[in-house]
Structure 1
Amino acid sequence: MLTRIANSLYWTGRYLERSEHLARYLRVQYFSMQDIPMQDSRAFTLRSIERMYKGDNDPEKTLSEAEVLRSVGMSYEEPSSIRSTVRLARENARALRHVISTELWESINAFYLYCNNFSPDFFVTHGLHEFTSEVGRCCAIIRSRLDDTLLQDETWTLMKLGIHLERAVQLLRILLSKLYDIEEMNARGDNPILRQYQGTVILKILEGFDLHQQIYHQPLSPQTTVDFLVAHPQFARSATYNLRAVTTLIERLDGNAPEKNPVLFQAGKLFHYFRYLEYAEVEDDLVGQLSKALDSVYALHDAIQARYFGESE
């Protein structure tokens, strides 16, 4: 397969997965401010959204709700917006029409058309929940088309590789964004119950709240949250689950060749780090440890890019 085609398959998967996580973060974080009895809950929520989308961590910055929502949801000028991410997925997929199924292409194209035709003014005033929920529904349809209408060959493997690596990236970014929120609340001396509620928000963003309750049978705590989201091998959004998938997919790309593959070795080490992470070893510097882990996932991407595509995105 041409490296250009392989690269487009990988990035189609990454952009699709990214759009869903961005949409879920925006929906859950935005509507959570209605449940927080804080004097400046709106400003706090908008700062959190800005941090997740743009990496902006200035607590003194004055934010306009309409401008923030339009920028992160609808703006094509903002490369990290939901709309921009969906357009990038569609642009990559358009170059793949000769290697992917008609059904998969049509579902990706329909997703783009829905986002492109959605009114930015309606999104800002009334349409946020509708739009972000539809993003999740469209991504679920696309994943089903990927699994049901393609052979599980190199094409399927590369798209799945992009999906699972991006899912690990977004998990860590969401955790870090919410930990910064908690640090901000600590600095202001906010009610501990409000800080604890941020753990609930994290789990709802990642659609793991109910599963967490079923598994642990105890009040939510920082330890159970980290154990579940990072180390649990059977939760499909956990770091462990997705790094195991990445490792398996890299093995498929190599055809289980006997010679040592440094990228596979790198992925395997990262999988085992997440799988056997002990909360007690990281709790004193959780932000620092998760930041290092995120850097390691980015480094794994760089290694994948260099070995299989021979270029950088």
Structure 2
Amino acid sequence: MLSRIAESLFWIGRYVERADDTARLLDVHVQILLEDPWAEEDLACRSLLSVMDRPAPPPHVEVGRDHVLDLLAYDRFAPSAIAGSLVAARENARRAREIISTELWECLNTTWNQLPSHMRPARPHDYFTWVRERAAIVAGIMDSATSRDETWAFMVLGRSIERADMTARLLTTRALAGSAGPSWTTLLRSCGAHEAFLRTYRGTASDERAAGFLLLDRLFPRSIVFALNQAEECLAALEPVTDRATVDEARRHIGFVRTALEYRPLPEVLDALPKEMERVQRACSAASDAIRGRYFPSGAATTWVGEAF
């Protein structure tokens, strides 16, 4: 497979997952601000921008939900925003058109065409719901109509790394907000994990168990450990280990942070949750850089251009 095609497949997985997870995170954030009249909106919005690695305005400028939505939901030219991620996913699908299925291309292209009509609704929740539904369709097509070859491996590798990173950001927002932030039940619902959590623990819920479920559950697809395990499996499928004494750089970063979470007592992880989630984000970034260097070598840095009309 050509490296440019492999790179496009990797970023299709990442961008669709980024749009999905950002929609889930913003949905929780906006809902909390609407329900709690005593919430410090400026502080909460600045914390969210910090978690998402977006610059905040100067201290004397008040930051509200509209500013956050403009930056993280509706900006079509920023790949870190929902709209920008969907645009970038469609552009990468166009570049890999000869490899991906017609069904997947039509899904991403339809999403791109429908995007302007769904932006800035009366209720942001409607926009977030639409984004989550479109991402679910893409994931369903990837999993049900794609052969388990390099095409699938690169897309799922991108999706898994992005999912681990974004789930870590979601948990960081909860840790930083403290009692003023969303409850663990709300976070579980935002990840589609609430019913699975209740079935796992037979209804005996607690904050510690909820946090552990999103961090460490080996069977739930949106937990950090599950996503990191799937990323390792994809890397192993792309390049099976031939030298028993070494491991490639990307798998080393992912495996190190996964075992650091998986084999430590949960209370120890929860006591330093923001720091631990920052380690997960750094590991995902380092693994992504290693994957780029191994599979997508290029003399020039990748730059994303605006939409072609």
Q: TM-score, normalised by structure 1?
A: 0.85
Shift in Å, 1:20:
0.3
Contact 1:239 1:274 in 2 (8 A): no
Matched, 1:242 2:241: no
1:298 paired to 2:285: yes
Letter of the structure 1 residue corresponding to residue 283 of structure 2? S
1:289 aligned residue: 276
What's the offset of the Cα at 1:77? 4.4
Q: 1:40 corresponds to which residue?
A: 39
Tell me the residue number matched to 2:26. 26
Higher helix proportion, which one?
1
Say how many residue pairs are matched: 296
Aligned to 1:308: 295
Q: Any residues of structure 2 matched to 1:260-275 within 5 Å, and which?
A: 260-263=246-249, 264-275=251-262
Cα separation, 2, equivalents of 1:119 and 1:284: 39
- Superposed CA deviations along residues 102-127 of structure 1, whole A, max 9, x for unmatched, are 0110011111112134343xx2xx14
> Quick one: distance in 2 between partners of 1:266 and 1:78?
27
In the alignment, which residue of structure 2 is the partner of 1:103?
A: 103
Contact 2:9 2:154 in 1 (8 A): yes
Q: Percent identity?
A: 27
* Offset from partner CA, 1:71-129 (integer Å, 9 cap, x none): 32212244422111111111111101101110110011111112134343xx2xx1412
Matches of residues 45-194 of structure 1 in structure 2 within 5 Å?
45-56=44-55, 61-120=61-120, 123=121, 126-182=122-178, 194=180
Q: CA deviation at 1:250?
A: 0.7
Structure 2 SS opposite 1:74: coil
Separation in structure 1 between the aligned mates of residue 252 and residue 48 of structure 2, nearest angstrom: 35
Gap runs ≥5 in structure 1:
183-191
AA at the equivalent of 1:143: A
Q: Distance in 1 between matches of 2:259 and 2:239?
A: 20
Alpha-carbon distance in structure 2 between the residues aligned to 1:256 and 1:270? 20
Offset from partner CA, 1:25-63 (integer Å, 9 cap, x none) = 112221233433x42354455445434444457876512
Displacement of 1:16:
0.6
What displacement does 1:256 show? 5.1
1:174 to partner: Cα distance: 1.2
Matches of 1:245 and 1:79 in 2, distance apart? Answer: 24
Do the aligned residues in 1 keep the contact of 2:45 with 2:63 (CA within 8 Å)? yes
> Helix, strand or coil: the match of 1:80?
coil
Report Cα offsets for 1:236-290 as digits up to 9, x if no partner.
Answer: 1111111111111111101454554323344333332232232232343222222
Question: Which stretches of structure 1, 4 residues or longer, exceed 4 Å deviation after superposition?
Answer: 41-45, 56-61
Distance 2:71 2:256 in 1: 38
RMSD: 2.4
Q: 1-side partners of 2:275 and 2:138: how far apart? A: 35
Gap runs ≥5 in structure 2: 303-309
Return the alpha-carbon distance in structure 1 between the equivalents of residues 59 and 197 of structure 2.
31
Give the Å deviation of 1:159.
0.5
Deviates more, 1:64-73 or 1:47-56: 47-56
* Per-residue CA distance 1:200-251 (angstroms, 9 max, x = gap): 3322222222322333333422x22331111110111111111111111111
Report deviation, 1:177. Answer: 2.1
Tell me the amino acid that sits aligned with residue 98 of structure 1. Answer: E
Give the 3 Å change call, closer, same or farther, for CA 23–226 of structure 1 in structure 2: same
Matched, 1:17 2:2: no
1:115–1:52 CA distance, 2 compared to 1 (3 A): farther
